[in-house]
Structure 1
C-alpha cells in the first residue's frame, strides 16, 4: 500500500498535536502511523452543497482501535466514536469551510496504530457545467446522434469506474489489516510453540536424569 498522501496533502508533526491541511476538495486517501499517546487532526476544505464521505480503518497496532471525531466548519461535533476499528460517515450537504477529522490514540501508552482513511466527494446535481457538452455542439450538427444519451452513458461509466477504484482501495485496506493481524498471530504461535518445545525437552531430560539416578541407587545398594 502507498504510504504517501494522494492529492495535495501537507503533514506537520508536532507535539502533542499534529495538524494536516488539505487544500483541494478532491477524493483523497492517506495512510499514516499514529504514535501511542498522540492525537492527529486533518483539515479538509469543502464546498457548499456537496457530499463528503469519510471512511477510516485501523490496519495495524495492538487492539486495532482508535478514537475518531468529525467537526464541521462552524465547530459542530458531527461524529464522536471511541475505540473503534473502522467507520464510514457521510456529510450531506456540506458547508463552505474546513472540516476537521481527529484520530486520538492517547488512551494507548505503548502501542502505535497504523490508520488508513479516505475522503470521497460527490457534487450535487445542478452544477454549472451540466450543459457544457451541449454548448460545444450546435443543434444542427447533432444529426441523429443524441448528445444527451452519450453524455449520460459516459457519466455513468465514469461513476462506475470511480466506484470500482474506491472499492479496490477499501479492499486493499482490509487486506492490509488482515495481513497484519495474521502476522501478529503467527508471531504468537511461534513464540508459544517454542515455549512448549522447551518445556517438553526440559521434562524429557529430567525424566532421563531421574531414571538414571534411580538405577544408580539400586546398583549401589546391591553392592
Structure 2
C-alpha cells in the first residue's frame, strides 16, 4: 500500500489581492491505474467545520467494479463500498488527514483505471470574510454594496466551479463509455473470427463426408 500526495488546484477569484475575503474551495481530480491484487490509498488534509466531497468512477477493467474505503483522521472507518463502479460521498470534516483507499485485491487478473475527484469547501470561510471589513468601518452604504458584490462574486465563483466539476465528470463518463465500446468491439471481432473458423471447419468436414459417401470402395475382381 503506497501513500500518494494529491495534486490540488485552488480556485479563487482573488489571486492578485491575497487579503480579500472570498470563500475558498479546493477541487482536485486524479486518474490512475490500479493493478490486479493491489490496494492504493490517498490522504487529504482538512480543517474543522469543512465539507469533503469524494466522487469516483471505474473507467476501465473487467466488470468496472472496485472496493472503496474512507477513514477519518483518527483511523475510524467512515464508509465502505464493495464492488461498485462509481460513488459520490460528502462528509463533514475535522482537523487532520482523511484516508481513502481503492481496493482491487479481489481481482487476480484485471487491472482497473480509476478516476476520482475531491472538493473541499467552507475552509476558513468565517475568518477570511472579516479581512475586507476592516477597511469600510463606519460606512454603512459602502458596507452594504460590498456585501452585495461579495455575494455576487461568490455565487459566480460557485457556479464556475460547479461547471468545471460537471465538465470533468462528463469527460470521465466519456472515457468509460469509450473503453466499454472498444472492449465490446474487440470481443465481437474475436468471436466473429471464432465463428468463421468453426464454419470453415464444418464446411470442409461436410464436403469430405459427402465425397466419401460416393467413393466406390469395392475391390475389382480379376
TM-score class, shorter? 0.7 to 0.9
Secondary structure of the equivalent of 2:2? strand
CA shift at 1:139, angstroms?
7.0
Residues 177, 23 of structure 1: alpha-carbon distance in 2 compared, 3 angstrom cutoff: closer
Q: Sort the Cα spacing of 1:124 and 1:69 in 2 relative to 1 into closer, same or farther, 3 A.
A: same
2:167 corresponds in structure 1 to 168
| Unmatched 5+ stretches in structure 2 | 9-24
Q: Highest relative contact order (Cα 8 Å, sep 6+), 1 or 2?
A: 2
Q: How does 1:94-113 map to 2 (within 5 A)?
A: 94-113=93-112
Q: What is the aligned-residue RMSD (CA, Å)?
A: 2.7
Using the size of structure 1 for normalisation, the TM-score is 0.80
Alignment CA distance shift 1:213-1:23 (3 Å) = closer
Would you say 1:39 and 2:39 are equivalent positions?
Answer: yes
Q: For residues 120 and 19 of structure 1, do their structure 2 counterparts lie closer, same or farther at Cα, with a shift above 3 Å needed?
A: same
Q: Deviations over 1:111-150 (max 9, x none)?
A: 111111110011168522224445556876x77x933222
Deviation at 1:179, TM superposition (A): 1.1
Do the aligned residues in 2 keep the contact of 1:29 with 1:118 (CA within 8 Å)?
Answer: yes
Q: Distance in 1 between matches of 2:95 and 2:101?
A: 19
Give the 3 Å change call, closer, same or farther, for CA 207–122 of structure 1 in structure 2: same
Superposition TM-score, scaled by structure 2 size: 0.81
**Aligned ranges 1:1-223 → 2 under 5 Å:** 17-22=1-6, 26-92=26-92, 94-123=93-122, 126-135=125-134, 146-217=145-216
In structure 1, distance between residues paired with 2:146 and 2:44: 36
Structure-2 separation of matches of 1:22 and 1:85: 22
Aligned residues of 1:57 and 1:87 also touching (Cα < 8 A) = yes
8 Å CA contact retained: 1:22, 1:45: no
Q: In structure 1, how many angstroms separate the alpha carbons of the residues matched to 2:7 and 2:115? A: 19
How many residues align structurally?
Answer: 202
Query: Structure 2 CA distance, aligned partners of 1:101 and 1:153?
Result: 35
Residue number in structure 2 paired with 1:5: none
The superposition leaves residues 145-184 of structure 1 with CA deviations (integer Å, 9 ceiling, x where unpaired) of 9332222222111110100000111111111111111111
1:168–1:136 CA distance, 2 compared to 1 (3 A): farther
| 1:177-201 deviation per Cα after TM superposition (whole angstroms, max 9, x unaligned) | 1111111111111111111111122
More deviation in 126-135 or 52-61?
126-135
Distance 1:78 1:119 in 2: 16
Q: Residues 90 and 193 from structure 1, CA distance in 2 versus in 1: closer, same or farther, beyond 3 angstroms?
A: same
Partner SS, residue 87 of structure 1: strand
